[in-house]
Amino acid sequence: MDKVKVISSDESISELSGHFKVIAGPGAGKTHWLVTHIQNVLQNVKELTAASKIACITYTTVAGEEIQKRLGINQNKVEVSTIHSFLYANIVKPYIYLLKDDNGDMLVNVEELDGHDENIATKGKIYVWQQEARNGYLTDKQKIKKCLENLDWKLEENGINLKPRKPYLSKIGRYSIKSEELLIYKRLFWKEGVIHHEDVIYFAYIILEEYPLLIDHIRSKYPFVFLDEFQDTNPIQTEIIKKLGNAGSVIGVIGDPAQSIYEFQGASRQDFISFSLPNQTMYSIENNRRCGSKIVDFLNYIRIGDELEQKPLRDDSEIDVYFYECNEAGDDNITRFHELRSRFRLNGDYCILARNNDLVKQLRNAEAEDIWTSFNEIDSNRERFIKKMFTAFKLVNDNRQEAGVKELIKIFKTDKDGILKEPFQEYQYVSPVMKRSLAVDLLEFMACGMVKFQDKSLYEFYEALSGLLKVKNYGIKKITRGRIKEFSDSTSIKLLLDNLILPEEKSSEIRTIHKAKGMEFESVLLYFSDNEEVKRLISPDISSEKDDTRILYVALSRAKDLLCIACPPLDTETKTILSSMNLMEVDLVMP
C-alpha cells in the first residue's frame, strides 16, 4: 500500500496538479477541506482557462448544495453536481444520438429525451413487455414488478450486463426472467425517450468506450475532477473516472471505506481502498471534530481492524453512550430519548434513525400500507404528477427552494414539439420559460393552501389545482369515474404527505440511516428492530463485504453530543456485554 500522509482538515496540500486520495472518517471536516482545496486550486493553478472548470462531484444533491453555499462567489468556475447529473449533462445528453441498435436506428428516442427518471414498472408497461417478450407464463405480477424495478448494470469480464440487484428477484415461480427479456423492458422506455437513473451510468460508459476521443473534450473542459464520498461509487462510475484521469484530468477522491453502505447499488469498500491512478498521493485525516470523546471511543471500537483510528478534538462533551429496551416503535420509546436530552440540557437538533422506510413510517405513525404504490397501480400518470408536486412542496419546506422548483418543472413533460403529455389535456404547448413560471405558481398555490387541504381528499385538491391551471390557460384531464375516482375520493392529502419519503431530506427528525449520510445532529437515537442488530454492535466487522456493520457505523457517527440506542428486550448476558463496552443503561441512571 502507498505511504499515507497524515494531514488535518485545515492543512493544504502542496502538490495541486497530481492525483490524490484522501481517507477521512466521520466528523473529520472533509467538506471544509475540499472547499478549501478547490479555492486553493482556483487561486494557484494555471491549467484553468476561461473555458474550463473544476468539476466537484458529490453523492447527494444536499451535499452539493452545501458545497455551493460554502464556495460563495467562486461558483462560476466550479461545477458542483451529482455523478448522474454530471454524466448526463456532459456525455449522455449531447452524445447519446451516436448509439445505434442492430438495425442502425438510434438506440434512444433523442427527440423525446428529457432528463432521467426513476424506474417504475406500471401495469401497462408490464403488459406490453410480456406481449413483446412472449413470456405470459410469468403470472406473479408483484414479483415481476419487483424484479423490473430493481435492475442495474453490472461491469463483468464479458462487458456490462443488465441484472436484478439481487439474483433471486429474477425467479418468478418455476421460471426465471431471461437477460434478453430484461433488455426488451429497457428498450420499451428508450423508444419513448425515457431513460432511468441507472441507465445514465451505462450510456456514459458505452459512449466513451465506442467514442474514446470524447474523453479529450471532457478532459479539456474539466482539467480537475474532485469526488466526495467516493466509497459509494460503483465500478462502472469508477472506470469512467479512471478514463478521465488517464486522459489528463487531475483526479482527487475523498471518502471513507468504513462508510461504504451502497452495496445494493454495486459500491464496494474494497474498490475505494484499491482505487489508484499513476503517481497518486495518499492522505489521511484522523481527527474527529464532530463527536464527543465517549462517542469517538465507541466508534473506534466499531471500526476495530480498520487502519484509521480517530482522535477526538472536542474536550467540551463527555456524555456517555446510552441504551434502553423497548418493545416496539412508539411514542413512549421516543419520549425516553427526549427525557435523556432534557437531563443533559440538550435543546438543539436531533434525529431518530432506523434501518428502513417501513420502520421510519412506524416511528412517524404513518400508515404501514404503501399508499403511493396503490396510487401508481391505479393511475401511473397522475401518481407521477401528484408525487412530484408533493415532493417539490416538501423540498421547499426543507428550505430547498431551487430544488423544489426543479422538481416541479418535471411535471411538465412534453413531446419533441413542446406539447404537454398526460395528465394534461391534448394539444397544449408549453415553453421552457413558461414551465418555470408555472412551477413557481404551483408552489405558491401549495404554500398558501396546503394547510387547509390536509384533511381534504385528493379529488378536492385535484379539482382546485385544475381551477388554478385553467386560469393560466392550461388544463388537466378530469377525474370522472372508475378506480381513480374511488381512490381520489377516499384518500386524504395528509395520508399522501405522511407517506411520502424524500430521496434526500435535510430537516426530517425521523429518517433512514442512508438518508442521514453526511448529516450531523446534537442528539441521535438509533432504533433497533431486532436483536441481530445488537449482535452486530457487539461483534462488529467493518471490513465485511456486507454493509451491515458500516450502516451501524454511519448511524452512530451522526451524533455530536448524545448517542442513544433503543433495543428490543435484552437478556442479562447481552446487557452485561453492552455495559463492558462502556454503554450506560438509561434505566439505571434515570428514575
Structural domains in the chain plus CATH codes: 5-93+211-285 (3.40.50.300), 111-202 (no CATH), 293-364+509-585 (3.40.50.300), 371-499 (no CATH)
Whether residue 331 has pLDDT greater than 80: no
Beta-bridge mates of residue 510: 352
Average pLDDT over residues 214-222: 96
Tens digits of residue pLDDT in 232-291: 999 999 999 999 999 999 999 999 999 999 988 888 888 999 999 999 999 999 999 999
pLDDT of residue 364: 77
Whether residue 513 has pLDDT greater than 90: yes
Average pLDDT over residues 40-57: 91
Average pLDDT over residues 293-317: 92
User: Is there a binding annotation on residue 115?
Assistant: no
pLDDT of residue 369: 59
CA distance 366 to 370: 10
pLDDT of residue 447: 86
pLDDT of residue 366: 54
Choose from 214-228, 432-446, 471-485 the range with maximum mean pLDDT: 214-228
User: Is there a binding annotation on residue 491?
Assistant: no
User: Is there a binding annotation on residue 29?
Assistant: yes
Element holding 124 (H helix, E strand): helix 123-133
User: Is there a binding annotation on residue 248?
Assistant: no
Whether residue 86 has pLDDT greater than 90: yes
- DSSP states of 198-251: HHHHHHHHHHHHH-THHHHHHHHH-SEEEESSGGG--HHHHHHHHHHHHHT-EE
pLDDT of residue 589: 57
C-alpha cell at 526: 438509533
C-alpha cell at 433: 420559460
Average pLDDT over residues 211-215: 96
Q: Which of 458, 292, 312, 440 is nearest to 375 (CA)?
A: 458
User: Is there a binding annotation on residue 104?
Assistant: no
Q: Whole-number mean pLDDT of the chain?
A: 91
User: Is there a binding annotation on residue 312?
Assistant: no
Whether residue 103 has pLDDT greater than 50: yes
- DSSP states of 357-369: HHHHHHHTT--SS
Confidence of residue 505 (pLDDT cuts 50, 70, 90): low
Confidence of residue 1 (pLDDT cuts 50, 70, 90): very low
Average pLDDT over residues 171-176: 94
User: Is there a binding annotation on residue 28?
Assistant: yes
Q: Give the residue carrying C-alpha cell 482545496.
A: 37
Torsion sign over Cα 272, 511, 30, 294: negative
CA distance 412 to 418: 9
pLDDT of residue 588: 59
Q: Is the pTM of this model over 0.75?
A: yes
User: Is there a binding annotation on residue 51?
Assistant: no
pLDDT of residue 330: 58
